[in-house]
A = this chain, B = another copy of it.
């Protein structure tokens, strides 16, 4: 049963995605108003964007949003204004064939993704995960100096709705009590991670650098992101080079990219003061975070259970600071690349963004609807994340079902 996210997509939102339908077989760029998908090329052909000087003709015919995302922010603003004007009286008067009901379309990856960097910006996630793994509170040594991150695997990012096969890998067999043995088997500790992802718009050249205060010019918008993680594989492999196979099998993103303009009225202050000794390029205090309610639900044969509700305004490091830290060595940014926030978590029960935290590293079972319980995910489980910034502005959902391990 699909949830109705109509109320996430008012005229105040107008996100961007890539959709196909039985009448538009090739994927192309679209926006969404309530439950209606609007194909942007149709609008352009009918003159809706005639006022937008410099918008290349046919740009929305593309199978990805990359060409559009790469344009300067001023053009994005003008396109948004033209869209709000065209859609102010609903979708009834739009050109024939330019719309489809959300139930009639297939959504695709909104961008071609040349890189994926996953941060770890939530202080509380670091604290909770440290407690679950190490048994005591512990922050990484550089946590207060810079946002920490690792390079992820961009090629296995999939769009919401794509099933995810349980990966095989190497891990320590915890069922043995007499000795420690590393086995190769389907993971026994499959987890989700509730995150937001920044989608880069205008590229940044090699060697240029970026002040945090200027980083919005390079952020096309945000998506929900599930950084699926095999905790047992990750645990063995990540000393000392970080996660690889424990996370490279799949990352799921929501299909609609919500723009910073739509989120602008939901800005929030930083949750606590940052060190005054961080260098000027990283300093960006004031309207720092976004107030976005995040939720993760697990659907099993017993029904749906909300496993975590938290808020993006709790992030210790901001989206802009993520972008600027990555580029502070001179590293470039490419259009379409994604920067994940890392798991967003709160400090109280019910506010955790992954099962590692919910179950305290497997020590406590999570109670589910229908008298079920979980330590980690089992085959058939459906993990669904959703996010709402405020009235009429949300992300819809980011969902994926766990399928059994394949014989490779």
Contacts and interface: CB of A to CB of B under 8 A. Distances in A.
Contact of A244 (B150, B206, B332, B406): B150
Interface string A186-218: 000000000000000000001111100000000
A210 B168 CA distance: 13
Interface stretch (A4-12, A93-101, A113-121): A113-121
Interface residues of A, number: 60
A99 B167 CA distance: 49
A117 B151 CA distance: 9
Given A114-B154, A140-B241, 20 more contacts: A114-B114, A140-B240, A141-B236, A142-B236, A142-B237, A145-B182, A149-B244, A150-B242, A150-B244, A151-B242, A155-B331, A155-B337, A156-B330, A169-B329, A230-B329, A239-B240, A241-B242, A245-B326, A248-B331, A330-B408
A329 B155 CA distance: 13
Q: Copies per complex?
A: 2
Contacts of A140: 239-241
Given A242-B241, A245-B331, A331-B245, A114 B155 contact: yes
A330 B146 contact: no
B182 A408 contact: no
B207 A145 contact: no
Q: Shortest 9 CB-CB distances between A and B: which pairs? A: A242-B242, A209-B408, A151-B151, A167-B329, A249-B329, A150-B241, A184-B279, A241-B242, A248-B331
Contacts of A334: 155
Decide if the interface of chain A is mainly helix, strand, loop or mixed: loop
Contact of A328 (B115, B145, B408): B408
A99 B150 CA distance: 44
A208 B239 CA distance: 27
A165 interface: yes
B153 A151 contact: yes
Contact of A239 (B141, B167, B207, B278): B141
A394 B244 CA distance: 32
A153 B167 CA distance: 24
Contact of A240 (B146, B165, B238, B326): B238
A168 B243 CA distance: 25
A235 to B, nearest CB: 9
Interface in A312-366: 325-332, 334, 337
A170 interface: yes
Contacts of A169: 328-329
Contacts of A141: 236, 239
A329 B243 CA distance: 13
A148 interface: yes
A266 interface: no
Contacts of A114: 114, 154-155
Question: Counting chain B CB atoms within 10 Å of each CB, which of A150, A182, A330 scores highest?
Answer: A330
Nearest to A406: B207
A282 B241 CA distance: 20
A244 B151 contact: yes
Nearest to A167: B329
A15 interface: no
